[in-house]
Amino acid sequence: MPQEPEIICETRGAAGVVILNRPKALNALSLGMVRELARALDAWERDPKVTRIVLTAAGEKAFCAGGDIRALHDLGRAGNYGEMLKFWGEEYVLNAHIQRYPKPYLSLIDGIVMGGGVGISLHGGYRIAGERYLFAMPEVGIGFFPDVGATYALPRLPGAAGIYLALTGDRVGAADAVALGLATHAVPSGRMAELADALAGRSAVDDILAGFTHDPGPERLAADRATIAECFGAPDLPAIFDRLERKAKAGNGFAGKTLQTLSVKSPTSVAIAFEQMRRGATLDFNEAMRTEYRIVSRIARSPEFYEGVRAVVIDKDHAPRWQPASLEAVKPEAIAEYFAPLGADELVLEP
C-alpha cells in the first residue's frame, strides 16, 4: 500500500489549498511537512491564478497539535542537536514567511491547535475557528517555551491575556479566541467543508466569510479577564505571584487555581516565558523569531526539556523532577544566557 502523504498541497480554483494529513498523530508537524508547505507557499506567491491560501487539516480531533516533540526528543538524546535545530530553524523561517505573506492566508481551525500548529496559522490574516477549536501553548509543562512566534503575538493580546496563556498553558475555545484576537472569525463545524469549497471561488474573501460567520457563544474567561489583567500585567514574576496569592487568600477561586497550575510547570520555562513576553512586546516579528532561535538553541541541550518530555510524553507519569525545583532558585543570569546572541549561528530571515 502506498503511504499517505503527510501534507497535501494543491490548487483548487483561486485557492492554494493545504491539508495537514497526519490525523493519527494529531497532524503534528514533521520537517518534511514544513519543507513542503514552504515550497508550496513560494510557488503560489508567484502564481497569479492563486489569490488566497486555505490551510485545513484531516480528522476532527486536531488541526495541528504541534511539532513532533517525541522525534525531536529522540534526536537530542542521540546527540543530534544539528538535526533538531534544522527543524526549528526551518519552522521559524516558515512562520516568518506566513507573517509577511502577500496574499490572504486563511486557516480553518476546527480542533486542537497548539505549538507548531499555532505557528502556521496565527500569523496569517484570517484564523477561522470551528466549534471544536482549542488553542493552547502548553510548552512550559514540558520544560520548553512558547515559540513559533509567540514571543511576538502573545504580548500583543489585550489585558495581559497572552502572558497568562504563555505562563499557564491554559486552553481556550472559539469564543475566547475571537474575543482575544487569536481567531478572526467563528464558523459552525458543520459548515467548514462548505466554507473551504466557497473559498476556492473568486469572490472576495471577506464577503465569503460574512456568509458563514456565527456567534460562538459566551467566553469562558469573561469573568476572570480583570483578574488576569491585574495579576499578569504585573512588572515581574514575583509580583505576578504576589498578586495571585493575595487574590486567592481573599477568596478568588480562579487565582487559587492558577497558582496550582503554575506550581507544576518548569520554573525555568516559566521564567523564560515571562522574559519572552517582556522583551517581545517591543520586538518586530523577525527579531522575535531570532530571539526564539537563540532560546531553542540552548533548550536543545537543556536537561529540563528531556525531563519534561519523559514525564508527559514518554513515561506519562506527569511527575517531572525540575531542576531547579522552584522559581526562587532560578538565577536571573541563567535565564539571560538563553537570550544571548548566537554570533555566526543566528537565524537568517528575509528582511
Domain chopping of the chain, boundaries: 7-345
CA angle 270, 74, 56 (to 5 degrees): 75
Q: Which residue has the cell 484531516?
A: 58
Residue pair 55/107 in contact by the 8 Å Cβ criterion? yes
Which residue in 68, 91, 131, 139 is the catalytic one?
A: 139
List, in order, residues 6 or more apart from 109 with CB less than 8 Å away: 57, 63, 117, 121, 127, 128, 129, 130, 133, 183
Q: Is 108 helix (H, G, I), strand (E, B) or coil?
A: strand
Q: Is 119 helix (H, G, I), strand (E, B) or coil?
A: helix
19 DSSP β-pair partners: 8, 56
Which residue in 66, 116, 117, 141 is the catalytic one?
A: 116
Helices (H), the chain: 31-45, 69-77, 81-99, 116-119, 150-153, 161-168, 174-180, 192-199, 205-210, 225-232, 237-249, 253-263, 267-280, 285-299, 303-309, 332-338
Question: Residue 267, preceding bond cis, omega within 30 degrees?
Answer: no
11 DSSP β-pair partners: 16
- Catalytic, 147? Answer yes
- Catalytic, 76? Answer no
186 DSSP β-pair partners: 129
- Catalytic, 343? Answer no
Angle, helices 267-280 vs 237-249, to 10°: value is 110
Q: Which element (helix H / strand E) includes 109?
A: strand 105-109
> Among positive and negative, which fits the CA dihedral 17, 21, 26, 29?
negative
Q: In whole angstroms, what is the distance from residue 130 CA to residue 214 CA?
A: 10
229: cell is: 489583567
Angle, helices 225-232 vs 161-168, to 10°: value is 80
List the one residue out of 276, 256, 255 whose CA is nearest residue 144.
276
Look at residue 351 in the predicted model and tell me its pLDDT.
84
Q: In whole angstroms, what is the distance from residue 33 CA to residue 326 CA?
A: 37
Length of the chain: 351
CATH of 7-345, one of 1.10.600.10, 3.30.565.10, 1.10.3720.10, 3.90.226.10: 3.90.226.10
Across the chain, which has 351 residues, the per-10-residue mean pLDDT values are 89 98 96 98 98 97 94 95 96 98 98 98 98 98 98 98 98 98 98 98 97 97 98 98 98 98 98 98 98 98 96 95 97 98 97 84
Q: What is the DSSP letter of 114?
A: E
- Catalytic, 13? Answer no
Look at residue 236 in the predicted model and tell me its pLDDT.
97
Look at residue 3 in the predicted model and tell me its pLDDT.
83
Q: In whole angstroms, what is the distance from residue 198 CA to residue 210 CA?
A: 12
List the one residue out of 309, 128, 99 whose CA is nearest residue 209.
128
CB 309: neighbour CB atoms within 10 A? Answer: 22
Which residue in 68, 131, 147, 170 is the catalytic one?
A: 147
Question: Structure pTM?
Answer: 0.97
